[in-house]
Structure 1
């Protein structure tokens, strides 16, 4: 029999999706599952976006330009410039989801074997993207005790080598919800200039910042223009995960031209999604105000409920719609699977993502889980109650 590639064997499984077979079995057994494992919001997609799809009148479903349609990139540039990014449509490369933007940037900026520093815990698929791009993730630990704040610059410098080419952040952060401050971004600017590094900034959750906190992008920092690569997506902003449309934004023209070659190799981003996303740029601010208020209430319900459970600690995040909670358990992977296979309360259970998959450091996150507050407050409160009951009887409770 032909052998599978070593890269294939090395590709990590998603901690977000790998327990799906156990969830499917539990559903077949009649259990109701509260899905807190995945960032799939139940917020309605803006009507303006759906109406644009309904009103499509083309006769041929054709390829679009590899960089995205001119009309969409022009409209999208206006969105970014309202946020003071000071970009041109020619700085935007439209991609098949934010995932492709990340993969293209890794392949365009790093040679095989070169390194990207990422504060952990981090979005689990960064590991997969790095594996497929033959580059090395150098994790730098952040800690739940201080809410997963950015590690000190001294910690970054400890892992910088001649192979280091980039630093990657997600702001607000997935999985922790941490929102980086201006001071933290300025510190990253200095180290990127000092060591001539790219700064990758995953901004999928830009719209979701709470308690009046300010969102700062590396695009706002003067002097870093040739270093910054933004990853973005319509998935979270407009609750349109299935559109599979994202973009890469950079003012570095050499990098853009190289990234475009990767985009040409995969032909084009989805045309219908671009029509919908172009219309979505006109979504009124009131939509985001309502959504932000809803997520704030959900966050407060979940965090307060978790911290009332004996032995549980959960920091209060400043953005996105995730929390990482520390539980009194022996093994997060085992616990999350046990919740689906062996536990229910009133024939209901909760699906979570074990945090181990959001770390690169072996053994890290063994007693942590990520929960997405993408359900309504009532369901979140019920989920917390079920989790509390589960922890009372879990065989591996610590």
Structure 2
């Protein structure tokens, strides 16, 4: 009998160890008794045993699948203990001890006490499913659908815009050649403004058109150093720009990647040069993330406000008085066309870190 019980326990532990979903057991006092490997990975704890629910889910928040907030996870967990009602198919917004945000699908159900009596509860089982990657894919799909619609709209507007500008420029040139001063000078100003608007319309069209990418093995070092040299000779005299260390080989289109990195470097220089004293901008390659090579652009500027951090890659969103809102959107389009990732890695500590991840040649 003892051997049969031991074998059953061993089998249960083996099954739990291989489950893709996380399982956490709490005792009647709300302390963690057991957590399988999937749960430990999702929660970011190597040994959560002995922790209370309040410690484990300290800053976590529950919400419905549609995003409706339900309040702190700990409070709902205690309510499940008291009411002995199953709480299922909720989403928990959880932050690990090292600051990683997770989106976890959760179901909690209480265990009955001795002889099947409802009280006191013998404990509680928490089932976890890590939805972080799935949610990110859904967000990216939604983003791409939005980008496609915006691109079509931008193309139509830009086309009509350029037709009108062509007429304005034509009459402006006629006036410039036929009129005397001061009308001639005024015609020149009209042509200058029309040329600026035409450049904006060209940006819109470039963003809207499909982007053919010629992928080949290439060294990033020369491309990045050329971009650094390009911004050094521009108006950023109060900013020190440097490319540090060795840079990897990637699969990419050198011309398009140069455009993307130049855009990021210009933004970094503008941010770093906005404060007092001499600003700093660094480009480095801190290593790989899976099969992707990481390149970081770090500036000493004021950072990115948290309330706009999730919109900086959205087309036409800009905080610059004269900006078009297409710079970072174009960077995102170029990097995505390379099957890579561009993200704001850090913008909350008085500086900004943009990270570009590109397919490695290794």
| Same topology, TM > 0.5 | no
TM-score, normalised to structure 1, is 0.21
TM-score, normalised to structure 2, is 0.22
If asked which structure has higher relative contact order (CA below 8 Å, sep 6+), I would say 1
Bigger Cα Rg: 2
User: Counting strand residues as a fraction of each chain, which structure ranks higher?
Assistant: 2
